[in-house]
Amino acid sequence: MRVQVQEAGFDLGAESDAFAASVPEAGAIVTFTGVVRDADAGGLVAMEIEHYPAMTQKALEAIAQEAISRWSLADALVIHRYGRLVPGARIMMVATAARHRKDAFEAAEFLMDYLKSRAPFWKKEILADGEADWVAAKDADEDALKRW
Amino acid sequence: MMDIVYFAWVRERIGLPREQVETSAATVADLVTELAAREERYAAAFADLSALRVALDQELSDFDASLAGVREVAFFPPMTGG
């Protein structure tokens, strides 16, 4: 398992290739990438991501370990950024490797559901008109945990 | 002495990222009552506990939890990772 919390960007292709190459026994690799979107085109200048350094790494490791155990994954990778990110920038990625695709897909969804609501990150949207709003957690995100 | 850390709008509302407090609060709820009584900015931050989460020594917890042996208490809004 590799969990990386960083301010710098990452190379999605290189990370995916290296991850896949490290798990020769896995026939299924699923990757998910989260990107800063500008839902209201032109309105978003940047997304500022704050985190709780003393807690982030261990919270992410616990979530990744749970995914590995529940789906008997060959491995899992989580990279999550913090700091100021512009629209189009990658925020994070997860990758899961399993013998078969169902486990790899499910484990990736589980990781994403838990990252959303149980990893100590907070996002603030900086808008073109000078406003800045903290992104509110959605009830649907909390509800999504119940299916696991 | 206990370290208290704040994140996101809780940090902004209180105006501090962290502070040390001398407290004899037995539970998180007791600590919240003490802090909220300090000044208006604390009262505003702790006005609606349903909008807050708490972590004790970097583990998610709840407002009924005991503070015995706890060194760091963190208050923050629901997380928005991913």
Whether residue B79 and residue A116 make contact (CB cut-off 8 A), yes or no, is yes
Enumerate helices (H) and strands (E) in chain B, giving the number of each: 3, 5
ipTM above 0.85, yes or no: yes
Q: Give chain B positions within 8 Å (CB) of A137.
A: 77-80
CATH number, domain containing residue A38:
3.90.1170.40
User: Chain A residue with minimal CA distance to B5?
Assistant: A52
Verify whether the Cβ–Cβ distance B79 to A50 is below 8 Å. no
Task: Report the mean per-residue pLDDT for chain A.
Answer: 96
- Averaged over B45-54, what is the pLDDT? 97
pLDDT surpasses 80 at B76: yes
> Domain span at residue A17?
2-147
The CA distance from B40 to B46, in Å, is: 10
Query: What is the rounded CA–CA span in Å between residue A71 and residue B31?
Result: 40
Q: Topology of B2-76 in CATH? A: Ubiquitin-like (UB roll) (3.10.20)
Question: According to DSSP H, which parts of A37-147 are helical?
Answer: 53-70, 101-118, 139-144
Give the angle B4-A133-A35 at the CA atoms, nearest 5°. Answer: 100
Task: Give the number of domains in chain A.
Answer: 1
Radius of gyration of chain B (CA): 12
- Per CB-CB distance under 8 Å, the chain B contacts of A34 are 82
pLDDT band at A130 (very low <50, low <70, confident <90, very high): confident
> From A110, which residue of chain B is nearest by alpha-carbon distance?
B82
> How much is the pLDDT for A2?
97
Question: pLDDT digits over A55-111, tens only?
Answer: 999 999 999 999 999 999 999 999 999 999 999 999 999 999 999 999 999 999 999
Question: B2-28: string of b/e by CB count within 10 Å (b at 16+)?
Answer: eebbbbbbbbbbbeeeeeeeeeebeeb
> Region B12-39: what's the mean pLDDT?
97
Ramachandran angles phi, psi of A24, nearest 5°: -60, -25
Nearest to A135 by CA among A75, A62, A63, A46: A46
Instruction: Give mean pLDDT, residues B46-54.
Output: 97
pLDDT interval class at A38 (50, 70, 90): confident
Mean pLDDT for B17-36 is: 97
Label residue A39 by pLDDT band (50, 70, 90): confident
Average pLDDT over residues B18-33: 97
At A22, phi and psi to the nearest 5? -85, -5
Instruction: Return the pLDDT at A86.
Output: 96
Give residue A36's pLDDT: 96
| Res A72: pLDDT | 96
Kindly report the backbone phi and psi dihedral angles of residue A23, in degrees, each rounded to the nearest multiple of 5, phi listed first: -130, 70
CB contact under 8 A, A119 and B82: yes
Q: What is the pLDDT of residue B32?
A: 98
